Structure 1
Amino acid sequence: MTAISAPEPALAAGEDPRAYAAVLHAVYDAEMAGERAPARPREVISDSWRRVKEAGVDPDSGGAEPTLDGGQVQSRRADSGLGEVLEPVMRNLDTLIVDGENVLVVADAHGRVLWRNGSARVLGQADRLGFTEGASWAETAVGTNAIGTALASGRAVQVFSAEHFVRTHHNWTCAGAPIRDPRTGSVLGVVDVSGPAVTIHPTTLALVDTVAKLAQAQLREQHRARLDALRAVAAPILARSGGPALAVDGFGWVAAVDGVAPREKMLLPRECTPGRWYVHGLGDCELVPMPGGWLVRVQEAADTRVLVRLSAAGAAEQQVQVSGADGAWVHRPSPRHAQILRLLAEHPAGMTAGAIAVALFGDAARTVTVRAEISRLRKRLGGVLAAEPYRFAEGVDVVVGAA
């Protein structure tokens, strides 16, 4: 087994930051001028410089990606999957910002800054660099930096002084580590600690990397809890299924099986909707939505249409009753969620977030709220709802006001 090496700090313990910064400036100036450099930059830095040069990033001004507005930032936060680990990340890295010298940042998988925390003084310094919420710190936007380079390399990285590609960042240091989604292995975003170059410390990178791994562990535990909840719902349904079947979450992780060889995960079709699909390793299957995932019935030819009954607008208690060939379950939505579901029932071809915002609030600009609410609904209703546009999925029949 190959050992995984620890992240490499930019500065070795005991090394003089000012002397090392002077060397880096000489290396940088030579590299930018196409001359022979007095030393070679670290591999992670030279690889990044090559990428950003190929991307055409200007070392004097960086890129020109616009900063997202407040509504766009809120939407990115809701979609990032990072909100669930924000509090422990902030708590575990408080010690690095308590002295007012550093800013703590969480960015999404595209390098967009979604959250910042720090003293007013250091945040003011970050503002002057354009290091604000909504700004892009991908390599293609601002060159070599801990956020963009961690995303591009897939590993924790510390960037110091003139290792930054854009000259205006040379008085800055940053350490960033990617946070991976344990369900897919893909990077959700980056946790980063940045500040003036004189604040560099070799242990900062290890601490940031440890906190990123703790965040991943928390996401893993939350995923296990959701699988346990799905397993509890699935048990009676599988008992009545009458044939081989599995209960899986929306990522294909298996919560329970009946009459099928045990497995940890299966590959779902890319765009799941209720109905008949060929599933790799299982063959012909019927996919039926259930709370938090799918019932996968192997080689069954029964009718797999799903019936959804919505309570009428004036009903004392709002309910969503979902029934199919393998049983039924009930969800009690909030009044707002019930409104959204009735709107989608009235528009079977689907509605955009803007159209729903107009219907609910009389304001097409309230799309962030709509997307967040529907995201919560889809987590509750499994595969019953589809997106782009928002609608009930194929194979779902909807009745409003039925008993």
Structure 2
Amino acid sequence: MQKFLKLISLVLLLNCVCCSQRQEYKNDSEYSVTLEEIDSLVIPLDSVSPPKPPFVQVLEEENLLTFFNAFNRSIYWFDLNENKYLERTVIYAEGEHQVGRPVGYHIINRDSITVFDMIKNDLVFVNDKGIKLRTISLVNNLPINDSNWLLSYPQFFPRTITPFIRIDDKLIFSGSFMWAIPDNILDTFKFTASFDLSTHELTYRHTYPKNIYGSKFNWDDPYYTTVYYDWNPDQKVMVYSFPISNSLFTASLEKEGLSEVVDSEFGTKVVKPISMKNPTREIMLSHLIESDIYAGIKYDKHRKVYYRVLMNAEMSTTGVKDLSLKPVSIIIYDSEFKVLGKKELGLSKNWNIDNIIVTKDGLLIEYTDMLSSNEDYMVFKLFKLTSDEN
């Protein structure tokens, strides 16, 4: 990270090396639908829990908010009704119940919590006491030092915005190919895993769309190849958002193939890739700053709409530039992917777009006040969908 940050200062010496794309959606006032901030959810934190946790899960039936603290390897359980913490779940670092590097998790119930071990590429099932119940390899037990698995299996890094999704008796979750995708695996590399909780069978489905990935496109960075996704239970389809494309893609979990859904305002346009081979990190950063990059996609089953995160191009060429200064918008689609509205949030440094959660009360987005040194609280802003017709 330090090495990467040092490169940021070099960006000011660069000229634009490619023609990046910047979409001009309508102004917020030109749409009939938007998001209105109506409240804040403030969670007190202990002395070892910083804001911006890497993973959050809300259990709506129990009205609990849970989050992962990587420093003490613990899942915290916060009772929203009583405004107090319950006993936390510690993920063991050694011994028979060890999990090498816990990243994300999914609480099925207190007797069954799925934890992803990034060191071994395993799904580890534990209970709320951290006792290991079973382990499932996601890479067919290939050793982590055998790099061949990278060409056959996705790399997973679960976050709140890219969670485990419970569908009937299956857990669904997607990973990514982290760098430029070789042509010889474009038809075979499948990024979505489906784990059957009853039979313990693991299957993979869905490949990258050829019209935006492959050797003719230089997408040699995880920012370009991350797979964002959600499940639409009404239409029973997965919905995929790729960072470089206006289009969204849908797919059945029962078969292969993605169907492209053309953006109702801007068609099938994609960010123009960097033209040179083996660009430096500073050139890659400059391209990311000056391009529109899409991020998470969430389906709101309560209001039958989609929310899609857009990190807008930062066109300013003055000052020290980094991704934290990219303006963030939320694009709102109806269930048929027609653009209904847009909400300008502000700069990405103030909004943790990895921690976005749909609830029955509205859309929660973690807010981070960069001007404040107070880390005693985790703050979510609650947004509700509003219309001029209401």
> Structure 2 length normalisation: TM-score?
0.21
Greater strand share, structure number: 2
Greater helix share, structure number: 1
Q: Which of 1 and 2 has higher RCO (CA within 8 Å, sep 6+)?
A: 2
